[in-house]
Structure formats: C-alpha cells, structure tokens
C-alpha cells in the first residue's frame, strides 16, 4: 500500500490509447483500498495518435488541489516510442519511478529514478486487445502500475470490470494481472 500522503502520477500516451481511461480506473481502484483519488486529462488540441498526458493524485485524505501536476512521483509511459517525441521525465521528482511499456530496456538512461518495464504491447496482442489496428496497452500498464504503487491487483481488476463491463472488462483484467506479475525493474 502507498505510504506517502500524496502520490502524483502522470500518464503519457497517444490520443486514443486510453491514458485518460487508465487514470480514471486507477482512482476507482484506489478507492477500494481506502484511498481518495482524483484523475484529470490535459486538454489541448489532442487528436488520435498525438502525444497526450493524463494525471492522477492518490491520497489518504481528500485531495484539495486542483492545479496541474508539475512534479510527479511516478510517470507511466504507454507507448515505447514516446520518449523520443516528448520529455517524459520532465519534472519527475528525485527518487521517482517510471513505468514503461517496453520489452527489455527502457532507453531512458540512468538518473535519480527507478525504471520498471513490462511488455504491455505483447500482452495486449496475446489477449486480442486490439482496436483499429492498435494494441491497447492501457489496462496492462495499470496492472504494472499497481505493482509499483503496491496497490492490490484484485482492486484494479474489479475496477476494470466495473468500468468496462463484464465482457470487455474480464479480458482487460487478465491483461492487468499478467502485467502485474511480469513487470520488473529495468535499465
């Protein structure tokens, strides 16, 4: 379980990849573990395929803040190619954590942070989570994030099913569970 009073998380994805959905499900899952959460998108001229960000805050108390997150504790990267396009490490707190959708190496280099890799694209492809040709990695990344945040995976699975409905939810919950098991620290 999260020990800190406030944990701030930034999701990097592409428009249509489900970063906002992941942030919303995370907050619903955290509620089941007794945590108060807030999820919000960054709205600009977003369109399908363009880099987007979404945010979440988790706390043991009601979150009063409504300003942007400038110094996240955790960064989640849904698409392995995004670090080449945007500065995914911008503002990341010293000692922060990065969870990236990547088969082996993150390609982020060394710094005052710990990196965790999971091949969420492969999990999505294995389970047939593909929409319009895109593997949907968001729920797998949520499972990996749960591991890094020390959130119970059962709560995440339940929240996924509640959000997506039984049919879509169950396969996405399986993806989350697999990523929860497979995620590991990487370079």
Partner 1 sequence: MKLVVMHLTGNYAVAWAVKLSRVKVVSAYPITPQTTIVEKISEFIESGMMDAKIVRVESEHSALATVFGAASSGVRAFTATSSHGLMYMYEMVWWSAGARVPIVMAIVTRTIGAPWNIWSDHSDFMSQRDTGWLMIFAEHNQEVLDSVIQLFRITEDPRVYLPGMIALDAFILSHTTEPVDVPDQSLVDSFLPSRRQPYTFKSGDPITMGNLPSNPRDNMKMRWDVHESLVAAKKVIMEVDREWGELTGRSYGGLIECYRCSDAKYFIIGVGAWVGDMREAVDMLRSEGYEVGLIKLRFVRPFPAEELAEVVRGGKGAIVFDRSVSAGSAGPLYLDTVAHLGALNVGVPVKNVIAGIAGVDVTYNDIAGVVRSFIEEIESKGVVSNYVEWYFG
66 lies in the binding site for partner 1 (CB under 8 A): yes
- Does residue 1 contact residue 59 with C-beta atoms inside 8 Å? no
Judged by CB under 8 A, the number of residues near partner 1 is 19
Name which of 117 and 142 has its Cβ closer to partner 1. Answer: 142
Residue that the structure tokens 């959460």 belong to: 37
Question: What is the pattern of x (binds partner 1, CB under 8 A) and - over residues 1-30?
Answer: ----------------------xx--xx--
Name which of 24 and 101 has its Cβ closer to partner 1. Answer: 24
What gap in Å lies between CA 25 and CA 168, rounded to an integer?
14
CB of 138 to partner 1, least distance (A): 15
What gap in Å lies between CA 160 and CA 167, rounded to an integer?
11
43 lies in the binding site for partner 1 (CB under 8 A): yes
Q: Which helix (H) or strand (E) holds 166?
A: helix 166-182
Q: Which helix (H) or strand (E) holds 77?
A: strand 74-77
> What does residue 122 show for φ and ψ, rounded to 5 degrees?
-65, -45
Name which of 39 and 76 has its Cβ closer to partner 1. Answer: 39
Name which of 38 and 102 has its Cβ closer to partner 1. Answer: 38
List contacts with partner 1 (CB under 8 A).
23-24, 27-28, 31, 36-41, 43, 63-68, 70
């Amino acid at each position: 379980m999260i020990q800190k009073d406030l944990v701030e998380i930034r999701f990097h994805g592409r428009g249509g990849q489900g970063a906002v959905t992941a942030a919303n499900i995370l907050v619903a899952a955290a509620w089941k573990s007794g945590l108060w959460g807030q999820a919000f998108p960054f709205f600009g001229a977003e369109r399908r395929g363009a880099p987007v960000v979404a945010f979440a805050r988790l706390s043991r108390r009601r979150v009063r803040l409504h300003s942007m997150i400038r110094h996240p504790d955790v960064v989640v990267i849904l698409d392995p190619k995004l670090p080449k396009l945007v500065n995914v490490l911008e503002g990341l707190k010293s000692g922060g954590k990065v969870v990236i959708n990547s088969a082996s190496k993150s390609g982020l280099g060394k710094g005052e942070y710990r990196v965790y890799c999971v091949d969420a694209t492969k999990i999505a492809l294995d389970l047939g989570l593909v929409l319009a040709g895109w593997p949907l990695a968001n729920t797998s990344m949520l499972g990996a994030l749960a591991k890094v945040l020390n959130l119970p995976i059962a709560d995440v699975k339940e929240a996924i099913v509640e959000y997506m409905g039984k049919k879509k939810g169950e396969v996405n919950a399986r993806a989350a569970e697999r990523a929860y098991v497979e995620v590991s620290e990487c370079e």
